[in-house]
Structure 1
């Protein structure tokens, strides 16, 4: 199958991506959004594939562990989103929107996303964005006004648009995220939401009109340097918060994952002081946070030993953790429940004392 001629307009994405090979389903390759993406990397090799789910040299090959980060930097996949349903959630958001992307160019050592497609799981962009937007718009129109406040939002129905990817990085690849921000900015009673560990200042040029909630993920800087691989440094994330509020976004925080190690509470106290110094009164007035303690996975632990074993010194702690079998049968580990209850209470007490201006939406 011949490759399509790429459009001539191109921009140079940041160095987190240096795409040299693009795997593409036929329909995605020839779509308008696909052509826009190909134009950004005109020198990349184009590899036709039947399905974005089944690419043996990317997914399910344990030898890829040795190329974990390289694959994330150099490979990109174009596909079409087949399942366009909106799913209920109720914790961070009321609903999970159909994804406009899957996978990530970053490489956080605790991330669950690699378990979905297998191993490195670079970014897959779904090019049928008009269908995705249409599905969300129709669902939002059916909801009507929110009858009563809940932990997701007091007035709006909240849709998570980044369940299996980081939208800030996705926006480096295509205009999908910009299209979704525009949709929610024009949809009364509905709000987009996504968590991010990357600072993409191009998003400040959009016009969210209060319709998008950006949840910056934060943890103590030393821990982030160990486990948040290829992400924006914590000081850079802190420095961006006020700017996103001023640009018309709602900004919340993800304190996630909370990792218990020597001196962990002292490290969180320092982070909260840094957060206090970095945020304006206007920002503090609209902040809220989620607190999520670490859950790790036995299979991911084995994978990490092949590319980043130092992270496992803090992530895999049999002396502190107990097994939990997930709904899909995977063996996960989490802090022993009695200890975890104590740790959660300790961090919530610290938040109440150091950051009383940041209410906790939920903690677990």
Structure 2
């Protein structure tokens, strides 16, 4: 592989799982009037009874949040103390073909966690708290009609051999969203009755309340994993890697299909040895029932100039490993912006080496795709 130069050392793991109270101490709820008046909106208000209510015209354009450059200094505090209620006006399922066959209409946007590589805040400005979409009944109705139009899945693909897979958490983390409202529980219940489709979401937060939702195999949870050293530096406010691995068997036993999401893979000095250690932790920590149905996706890190500049204002140490111009090239995003990713030869070598490592250390693990 093309040499990956050393960079700033990553600190050893001393992570402690954040509690729901630490993640969400909501003091302000910014709400569209229609969302505020809805049953789901009222449920959210009941969960945070002491919050101030501020009515806004648009959940997407709140000048005090998204247009305020001063919020860079309050990046994590805004995620902790602010919440937005809105109505999802455009309902559409987008073709995907990687993690899922379709990307479902979002039930939320933004996150209380603060992963320094997250692509969602690239488009939202200077703050990225959770926005809850309260018209969950319309989202579920749209998905039921969309699933019916697809009919049975007659040809297997990398997403699933028999079911249409819908990613319900592209712009948020459903495990954290479930702390705010019953949107996630309602979607899991809806997919339980869909014999030709599955819900799917990736998560970095272990929410054991989800174990009681009885998904009956119709929801796939993809636990996002990376070496603990990388996670401690980059996965701010998330559950420690050891906790995520420890939850795998419990989620399988509760009726979830459980896959792994190796994302993002960060190329740095010693990265491959740390991934070998992680695979050993998974081998030792997960049981045979999980391994019999397991699959994984591999996604090498993609970064963004605008997010790089935001991170420099609140977490500059992360940029020592994320922003590596000597290893990276420009890439046009699907939305038309410019991102940076590893150069083609460096990325290809990284994917190859990680695939070979998985074959050697975890031969039971099917790689659904890697890029």
TM-score normalised by length of structure 2: 0.94
Residue 181 of structure 2 corresponds to residue 174 of structure 1:
yes
Q: From 214, 231, 234, give the equivalent of 1:227.
A: 234
Shift of residue 142, structure 1, vs aligned partner: 1.2
SS at match of 1:319: coil
The answer to which of 336-345 and 305-314 deviates more is: 336-345
Shift of residue 326, structure 1, vs aligned partner: 2.4
Q: From 192, 205, 220, give the equivalent of 1:185.
A: 192
Runs of 4+ in 1 over 6 A off after TM superposition: none
User: Which residue of the partner structure matches residue 211 of structure 1?
Assistant: 218
Residue 275 of structure 2 corresponds to residue 268 of structure 1:
yes
User: Which residue of the partner structure matches residue 90 of structure 2?
Assistant: 83
Q: From 56, 67, 71, give the equivalent of 1:60.
A: 67
Instruction: Show CA shifts across 1:11-68 (max 9, x none).
Output: x953210000000110110111111110011110000111101101111322210010
Q: From 36, 43, 54, give the equivalent of 2:43.
A: 36
How far apart in 1 are the matches of 2:333 and 2:122?
13
The answer to which of 228-237 and 111-120 deviates more is: 111-120
Kept after mapping to 1: 8 A contact 2:122/2:304: no
User: Which residue of the partner structure matches residue 291 of structure 1?
Assistant: 298
How far apart in 2 are the matches of 1:145 and 1:310?
49
The answer to which of 185-194 and 110-119 deviates more is: 110-119
User: Which residue of the partner structure matches residue 339 of structure 1?
Assistant: 346
How far apart in 1 are the matches of 2:57 and 2:306?
27
Residue 13 of structure 2 corresponds to residue 15 of structure 1:
no
Q: From 64, 69, 74, give the equivalent of 2:81.
A: 74
Instruction: Show CA shifts across 1:201-253 (max 9, x none).
Output: 00001110100000000000011000001111101101000000000000000
How far apart in 2 are the matches of 1:331 and 1:62?
21
Report the aligned-residue RMSD: 1.0
User: Which residue of the partner structure matches residue 113 of structure 1?
Assistant: 120
Q: From 123, 130, 143, give the equivalent of 1:123.
A: 130
Q: From 266, 282, 286, give the equivalent of 1:259.
A: 266
Instruction: Show CA shifts across 1:141-199 (max 9, x none).
Output: 11111011000000000000001000000000000000000000111110000000000
Shift of residue 332, structure 1, vs aligned partner: 1.2
Residue 171 of structure 2 corresponds to residue 164 of structure 1:
yes
TM-score normalised by length of structure 1: 0.96
Residue 178 of structure 2 corresponds to residue 135 of structure 1:
no
Residue 362 of structure 2 corresponds to residue 355 of structure 1:
yes
Kept after mapping to 2: 8 A contact 1:194/1:215: yes
User: Which residue of the partner structure matches residue 320 of structure 2?
Assistant: 313
Shift of residue 116, structure 1, vs aligned partner: 2.2
SS at match of 1:255: strand
Kept after mapping to 2: 8 A contact 1:97/1:159: yes
The answer to which of 317-326 and 253-262 deviates more is: 317-326
Q: Number of paired residues?
A: 353
How far apart in 2 are the matches of 1:116 and 1:282?
40
Gaps of 5+ in 1: 1-11
User: Which residue of the partner structure matches residue 27 of structure 1?
Assistant: 34
SS at match of 1:334: strand
Higher relative contact order (CA 8 A, sep 6+): 2
Kept after mapping to 2: 8 A contact 1:219/1:258: yes
How far apart in 2 are the matches of 1:37 and 1:94?
31
